[in-house]
Structure 1
Amino acid sequence: MTSGLHKVLISWIGGNDLKAVADKQSGPILSTLKNAEIDSVELLYSYPQAEVESYLSWLQQRVDIPIKATEAKLSSPVNFGEIYLAVEPVLKKLSTAETELSILLSPGTPAMQAVWILLGKTRFPAVFYQSSRESGVERVEIPFELAAEFVPAVSEISDAKLNALTDSRVPINAAFDNIVTQNPSMHVLKQQAQILAERNVPVLIYGETGTGKELFARAIHNASPRREKPFIALNCGAIPEELIDSTLFGHKKGAFTGAVADRSGVFQQADGGTLFLDEFGELSPQSQVRLLRVLQEGRLVPVGSDKELPVDVRIITATHRNLMEAVADGHFREDLFYRVAVGVLHLPPLRAREGDLSLLADMMLKAQGDQDPAFSGKKLSADAKKVILQHPWRGNVRELRSTLVRAALWSSGENITGAELQQALFTMPEREPDLLNHDVSQGVDLNGIMGELAAHYIQNAMAHTAQNKTKAAKLLGLKSQQTLSNWIEKYDIE
């Protein structure tokens, strides 16, 4: 690794380290710090707080470097899943371009050591040490390479539970078991959704495309007292503005050109059950007004009719847009927002669901093989799993599913290689401003370009300094707060 980096050692606090205090020995951690060039220490522990505090005080008296210790709440010191979830965030925080990461393998259980090796050889490259009374402190060379993410063991999941992951359509009988995950945040979301299912309140689900918004909506319906009544789903973004009223509330024959018969809207179709309005943020302001009235009064008037009809519908809405920003910008009605945002669920993107990528990919491939013999036995190689872990998955589960189908189709062998998976990916270009390559022959807005650049850095500097103009001006190389104010005024920067 490059010299001049900040060298940090990470380790579990082991039993031999705690005993070292009473036995007047060094213990693995202190021995390593005495024999290796280390700038700071990050320790993890699951022992009682009092024992650890005594040890940390003893250790700090013997080394002149920063020591930080983090408690890991483990139900068992051999629970791979809990160990992984305790270790991964610390490694992620420490693994930077300015840091040389070292891992001490000796303290802890074999399960802890296995997780260190798997993560230190894949996602967070590290130098390994071990320390013993017999051999002293040694740098360990692990003579093999790994490419797959460590995935904690999970119980077998039936094929029925994989339907929602292998089919673009959400199964009618979708339940919370269909939402397969080993991520703690997702487990919390499932628990929250189950609580909402038991109550007859509106639910708003936030999430990027492909994160499972309809899957959650169907599961809530199927776990609710309305489960025997209809579940109707509507994509609001796919309905032309002139047909919104008819689609939502229905119409009478002759109400407009093409209305050749009476037609019930989705509210009437969902009467007694659940209406799921996807892409809810795409509704026009005019449609929002009419929808709010129906939600408030529980009554609607079909297009072309003068008769009100009662409806009893539980509303679940979903959007990828930030409706709070839309309300602030005047693009979405505040009263409608608060009407639908009673129970709110924020679904994380797949790239933020730690531990789920490899799990979902393997299960999707298995389900494909169960459905079509041509896919039977297909597996992901270590290189292919590395590609999966490095891809951002902007389309989330939907993108992962379609990519695996393409890769399986193109793969010539049983194992899908990294190159085959890479070929199956769609890599979207990053939208970064290219301020130096505008075509001058076509004319350029120099003032606008300067304003865009100024706004970017001024807003960042103001945020970094908690809106302190004097400090922000200094960060930006400007002479004074007044100079910064002049720039803000000149380019109309918020």
Structure 2
Amino acid sequence: MSMAKIHTLVSWIGATDLNAASSNTEGKTFGPIAATLQAEAFDAVELLYNYSEEQVKPYLLWLQQRVSVSVRAHAVSLSSPVDYNDVYQAADQFLADISAENCNLSLLLSPGTPAMQAVWVLLGKTRYSCRFYQSSLQQGVQEVDIPFQLSMEYLPAARLIDSHKISSLSDISAPINAAFANIVTLNPGMLMLKQKAQILAEREVPVLIYGETGTGKELFSRAIHNASKRANKPFISLNCGAIPAELVDSVLFGHKKGAFTGAMSDKSGVFEQADGGTLFLDEFGELEPSVQVRLLRVLQDGTFTPVGASKEQKVDVRLITATHRNLMEKVAEGSFREDLFYRIAVGVLHLPPIRERKGDLTLLANRLLSMLAEEDDSLKDKKISPDALNIIISHPWRGNVRELQSTLLRAALWCQGNEITAEDMRQALFHMPERASDSAGIMNRDVSQGIDLQGLIDELSKHYILRALDAAQGKKKLAAKLLGIENYQTLSNWIKRLDIS
């Protein structure tokens, strides 16, 4: 059984209320709050005040002696009781908090300044479902029927979060303490990859991770490190594609003071920093052949020489590399050393793009939104509507998890309310022009890694059926026509077989 809601009266404490407690007015008036509590039955009372504690404490004692209901009072700091912005922010935050406590709210309009009364009406008629009361000497206590509706401009979450916080939300990446539990999936192929990665974590072999940008290569690498015997040693991550060509040796192996112009002091490279732990080299396929030769030596005997040094250094590093390129093709082309390839490609993981992870898109979207909410309370009540999920399912997500995360953040920051709608998702999506290499789309899958032909056909069908249903606003007959299917019952059969909601 659900619990009955508590009927709660909310009010500002006004000057007339405070005066009622003084001896020189005793018996003349109870003030609006006390009068309302004597005339109407409430289960709880929540009072806001902007007066000093010395003024309010005697009143609260006086009030509690005259009413049987529990009274709670909350101090609110306002720059001015007639400043609409201050009053609005304080009242909105308080009503948001109290409305979560399973209660029916009633607002007492009489106490306080005109700004306080106007804000009560605005909030009580728009954001919160409230009843209204007023109290006066002439009319007594009355429930007020406000005979009009208001439409209030929505205050998006983007207005409530500062720029630095929004930037940090957009940059949420693999957590330092990432474990295999952080890799959320129901997809059989991904579950098998997690099992393989856990086995590799227990061995000291080099690992090569293939995958498009944003498929979770760093998340896997951190999970492997954290599940290995090196978990309490350093994990150093480096994007090889972001290193200027003239600084590659310095970044990898370090340098001595004066080794080159700008080398003002000794600096350790990533191999030295990762000594005893794990070095993750992302976009490994971007390294030039000349650098590949020097890397091969480190991997063979664990020694290297910093730039400008004459003495070798020895390190113990477990290497995990990642790339979105097909290194076997680069070996065939002569742009990647074959001996280096076989040195790093001992444990190999091929991460599929999220468009191929059947059943995972909804799971990933909800998980990413939860992660954003964990970082900022302004997003904690956001939900994804079923129509928005259909948009997510039908989008190709060329940027994979990274693109999905940034799109959800944009939608959550600007959606009007706590539910992200299909229209919010459409506005948040970027529609990139097709690149020449992508013109064939689904025809460009890497057969060398194995493909599921029927799965690809189903994926293509599901993608266009969802788009047609969206364009036809859910009308199957029109959607069937758009897809070139003469009988809409045939479309219904496809929808059922592909489990399209």
In which range does the TM-score fall when normalised by the shorter chain? 0.5 to 0.7
Please tell me the residue identity of whatever aligns with 2:345: A
1:272 aligns with 2:280: no
Shift of 1:359: 1.0
Shift of 1:272: 0.6
Which of residues 371, 375, 381 is equivalent to 2:379?
A: 375
Shift of 1:396: 0.6
Please tell me the residue identity of whatever aligns with 1:400: L
Match of 1:229 in 2: 233
SS in 2 for 1:199: coil
Please tell me the residue identity of whatever aligns with 1:417: T
Shift of 1:168: 2.4
Q: Distance in 2 between matches of 1:246 and 1:376?
A: 44
Q: Distance in 2 between matches of 1:374 and 1:431?
A: 37
Query: Which structure: larger Rg?
Result: 2
Match of 2:396 in 1: 392
CA contact (8 A) 1:168 1:398 kept: no
CA contact (8 A) 1:166 1:367 kept: no
Match of 2:183 in 1: 179
Please tell me the residue identity of whatever aligns with 1:332: F
Q: Distance in 1 between matches of 2:203 and 2:395?
A: 38
CA contact (8 A) 1:248 1:265 kept: yes
1:356 aligns with 2:367: no
CA contact (8 A) 2:302 2:314 kept: yes
SS in 2 for 1:305: coil
Shift of 1:166: 8.5
CA contact (8 A) 2:170 2:406 kept: no
Deviation by residue 1:283-315 (Cα, 9 ceiling, x = unmatched): 001101111111112111111111011111010
Percentage of identical aligned residues: 70
Shift of 1:206: 0.2
Match of 1:297 in 2: 301
1:248 aligns with 2:252: yes
Q: Distance in 2 between matches of 1:338 and 1:270?
A: 22
Q: Distance in 2 between matches of 1:255 and 1:237?
A: 23
1:281 aligns with 2:296: no
Match of 2:59 in 1: none
SS in 2 for 1:354: coil
Please tell me the residue identity of whatever aligns with 1:312: D
Q: Distance in 2 between matches of 1:239 and 1:371?
A: 30
Change over 3 Å in CA distance of 1:281–1:377 after alignment to 2: same
Match of 1:326 in 2: 330
Shift of 1:169: 2.3
Which of residues 415, 418, 421 is equivalent to 2:419?
A: 415
CA contact (8 A) 2:298 2:304 kept: yes
Shift of 1:400: 0.6
Shift of 1:171: 1.1
Q: Distance in 2 between matches of 1:346 and 1:224?
A: 20
SS in 2 for 1:218: helix
Give the stretch that moved more between structures: 223-232 or 356-365.
356-365
Please tell me the residue identity of whatever aligns with 1:236: C
Please tell me the residue identity of whatever aligns with 1:191: Q
Deviation by residue 1:375-404 (Cα, 9 ceiling, x = unmatched): 222111221111101100011111111101
SS in 1 for 2:348: strand
**Length-normalised TM-score, structure 1:** 0.53
SS in 2 for 1:419: helix
Deviation by residue 1:256-276 (Cα, 9 ceiling, x = unmatched): 111111111100000011000
List aligned pairs for 1:78-97, cutoff 5 A.
none
**Length-normalised TM-score, structure 2:** 0.53
Deviation by residue 1:230-257 (Cα, 9 ceiling, x = unmatched): 0100100000111010111111111111
Superposition RMSD in Å: 2.0
Please tell me the residue identity of whatever aligns with 2:258: G
Change over 3 Å in CA distance of 1:248–1:370 after alignment to 2: closer
Shift of 1:342: 0.3
1:430 aligns with 2:413: no
Deviation by residue 1:188-210 (Cα, 9 ceiling, x = unmatched): 00000010011101000000011
Shift of 1:367: 3.2
SS in 2 for 1:217: helix
SS in 1 for 2:431: coil
Please tell me the residue identity of whatever aligns with 2:202: E
SS in 1 for 2:268: coil
Match of 1:160 in 2: none
Shift of 1:358: 0.6
Please tell me the residue identity of whatever aligns with 1:316: I
